[in-house]
Amino acid sequence: MRGLGPSSRAQLAALGIHTLEQLRQHEPVALYARLKQQWPAANMNLLYALIGAQEDLDWRQVARERRSELLLRLDDLGLAPR
């Protein structure tokens, strides 16, 4: 899974997500919210990496192109960084 390091993969595995196909079955913001509940230290880079892995993009491209959109969605969930 492109852009996801060992810690991120371990966090996903704890939720039963072991493959790219399984990852693609989840809406990334909702999945990030679940991960954030269990690992409060998770930050926006994880969200960018989740989307990057799902869409086969570099996480930095996701950050550049979708940061505002994602911040608004996280704000609606009360998860936007302060």
How many C-beta atoms surround the C-beta of residue 50 within 10 A?
Answer: 26
Q: What angle do CA 54, 56, 61 make, to 5 degrees?
A: 105
Number of domains in the chain: 1
Q: How many percent of the chain have pLDDT more than 70?
A: 100
User: Is residue 82 in a domain?
Assistant: no
User: Is residue 37 in a domain?
Assistant: yes
pLDDT in tens, 25-64: 999 999 999 999 999 999 999 999 999 999 999 999 999 9
Between CA 71 and CA 59 the distance in angstroms is: 15
Question: Which CATH number does the domain housing residue 65 bear?
Answer: 1.10.150
**Residues 52, 2: contact at Cβ < 8 Å?**
yes
What residue numbers bound the domain in which 15 lies?
6-76
**How close are the terminal C-alpha atoms of the chain, in Å?**
29
Specify the DSSP class assigned to residue 26: S
What pLDDT does 82 receive?
81
- Model pTM? 0.94
